A and B are shown apart, each in its own frame.
Chain A
Amino acid sequence: NAGVTQTPKFQVLKTGQSMTLQCAQDMNHNSMYWYRQDPGMGLRLIYYSASEGTTDKGEVPNGYNVSRLNKREFSLRLESAAPSQTSVYFCASSEALLLSTDTQYFGPGTRLTVL
Chain B
Amino acid sequence: AQTVTQSQPEMSVQEAETVTLSCTYDTSESDYYLFWYKQPPSRQMILVIRQEAYKQQNATENRFSVNFQKAAKSFSLKISDSQLGDAAMYFCAYRSGYGNKLVFGAGTILRVKS
Contact = CB atoms under 8 A, between A and B. Distances in A.
Given A106-B45, A109-B43, A100 B102 contact: no
Contacts of B43: 88, 108-109, 111
A22 B53 CA distance: 34
A106 B31 CA distance: 24
B93 A42 contact: yes
B109 to A, nearest CB: 11
A104 B103 CA distance: 12
Contact of B106 (A31, A41, A104): A41
B45 A42 contact: no
Contact of B100 (A31, A40, A44): A31
A112 B28 CA distance: 36
Nearest to B45: A106
A103 B44 contact: no
A58 B43 CA distance: 22
Contacts of B97: 100
A82 to B, nearest CB: 22
Contacts of A59: 101
A100 B102 CA distance: 13
Scoring B4, B42, B45, B104 by chain A CB atoms within 10 A of each residue's CB, the highest score goes to B45
Contacts of A43: 45, 91, 102, 104
Chain A interface residue bracket vs B:
20 to 34
Interface in A30-54: 31, 40-45, 48, 50
Nearest to A98: B100
Contacts of A78: none
B47 A50 contact: no
Contacts of A103: 35, 47, 50
B104 to A, nearest CB: 3
A102 B95 contact: yes
B40 to A, nearest CB: 11
B101 to A, nearest CB: 5
Contact of B101 (A45, A98, A101): A45
Interface of A: 31, 40-45, 48, 50, 58-59, 88, 90, 92, 97-98, 100-109, 111
